[in-house]
Structure 1
Amino acid sequence: MRVSTKGDYATRAMQDLALHYEKGPIQIEEIARRQHLPARYLEQILLSLKRAGFVESKRGMSGGYYLAKHPREITVGAIIRAMEGPIVPIFCVDSGPREICIEEPHCSLRDIWADVRDAVAQIVDQTTLEDLCQRFRTKQERQRVSYQI
């Protein structure tokens, strides 16, 4: 299973909005600069996130994008699914409509792939934007060098 650039950029943009949640609308250029993302592609991603109900926008000089919900109410799994669809390592363990596999009745690998799907889903569905922000801040603290003597 591989998260595409679209899913990665969407998650990074959402984390950026969560880190600046109290500041109101954030302009695309600010997010793009901080996250090292192409602004034009980010604009398309934010429009998709808006259609999915994760962000809202405000027009005008002080406009930009902001989270539609509190960071603790949005999971990484929900973002990835909105951008990419189901999170599955192989088609045969997709719970939605899928191709029929003639090996399915006696396939010994299907259970392993289902376990992989479930393990990944558990992690991304339990990780909120608030959790990502906490991880980010913890890493920032660790990187600070102390020069106390």
Structure 2
Amino acid sequence: MTEQKTPFGVFVAVYKDEDYQLLQRAIDKERLAHRFERVAEGVNILEVLADKIDSIDQSFKPGLILLGLNDPDQKGYEVLRHLKSDPRYRKIPVVVLADPLDRNIFTSYDRGANSFIPMPKTFDECLQLVRSIRDYWLKVVQLPKLG
């Protein structure tokens, strides 16, 4: 299997800079064709998504969201609920990254997550995560075109 012919954007919404930096190092090492873009803390992911989907600029269309839930305000659950209840976003798969507590896993799937993966803590774990995402979400799965 090969990566999907038309690379799409992958939104990475994680709270902690160190979590993102580990992920970014792993993404850079794997040199994926898909463009990964961080949605920084405090930025409304729903507004950014609307701008990207409605944009004339076709260079970044979101096809997958990596949503970290390790934020102190637990706003990630609200974002997930909105993503899965809004017709503009509900087809975009959301992979939740968080501490593997039963309540995190249950609530993530209850709110519509497509997958739950424990937040990696080391570079090797991040590398394995990026490879797993590449192998499954970017090679195997057929995703709908958006916008």
**What TM-score does the superposition give when structure 2 sets the normalisation length?**
0.27
Larger relative contact order (C-alpha < 8 A, sep ≥ 6)? 2
Higher strand share: 2
